[in-house]
Structure 1
């Protein structure tokens, strides 16, 4: 077999292997839990008996029967895990990215409510940063302000 024939065979084998790996990854992604079915969880610095499903802080009580809650001891005896998720599963994966970018994903509000509940259980109030952070309204400051408001729904900046 010529050198060109050998390299063509190696290239075809590599292409077939890559296609097989891609097919396996796609199949494993479909079998995972849908993004809307995921639990949102925080660890709270208090004993598990201090957090009761029927006496959750106001931000989570406002959801009523629209959320499921799960309360259990945190690993390593480090407080309590409080987990919540929307009962209807939230938006499907096809619509979640545009909704998240637009700030219209209902899970963003649930994340915010969960963080506020954590703050209320630990500190007795919802802690917020000082506003305005600077006295000069600059283009960079406006960008940081916009990103900070968006980050409230995602929990990260």
Structure 2
């Protein structure tokens, strides 16, 4: 029993150290230097114009900067976007992401939807309600990936 407690304590300390390290790394970035969110679209750079972006990105209007460049190796077009105004940083950013209030989540979603529109002409959505019943493992995965719609990652 004591070995099990030590294992959980070690895992907790390691997790805490990792979170602290990531928070302090974000706090040391220069203020207002938000990262570009980039997606590669399988179409020619001529087909993507800054003034003619798909609706999901147009909805942000002048709140975002857009950079369109040819992808390396002639493999399509890179669309990069970021907010003009500085977004929450450090601890505030983590809290906003967990609560679902981080505006970058909406921008990531809009970028993915713009990619889908440019490549296929439509945005594919999952069937709702699902056609199967969740197993206990499926419920756990659903719980963990609930925020994936805003982030695209677990």
2:114 is aligned with 1:117 = yes
CA distance in 2 between partners of 1:35 and 1:136 (Å): 46
Deviation per residue, 1:68-94 (Å, 9 max, x gap): 000000011100000000111211223
Secondary structure, counterpart of 1:108 in structure 2: helix
Residue 48 (structure 2) aligns with:
51
2:153 is aligned with 1:156 = yes
Residue 100 (structure 2) aligns with:
103
2:67 is aligned with 1:67 = no
User: What is the number of residues matched between the two proteins?
Assistant: 131
TM-score when scaled to structure 1?
A: 0.73
Residue 124 (structure 2) aligns with:
127
Asked if the contact 1:36–1:86 (Cα under 8 Å) also holds between the matched residues in 2, the reply is no
CA distance in 2 between partners of 1:30 and 1:103 (Å): 20
TM-score when scaled to structure 2?
A: 0.74
Residue 79 (structure 2) aligns with:
82
Instruction: Note the residue ranges of structure 2 that are not aligned, 5 or more in a row.
Output: 1-24
Q: By percentage of residues, which structure has more helix?
A: 1
- Rg larger for: 1
Instruction: Note the residue ranges of structure 1 that are not aligned, 5 or more in a row.
Output: 1-27
CA RMSD of aligned residues (A): 2.4
Please state how far the C-alpha of 1:98 moved relative to its aligned partner. 1.1
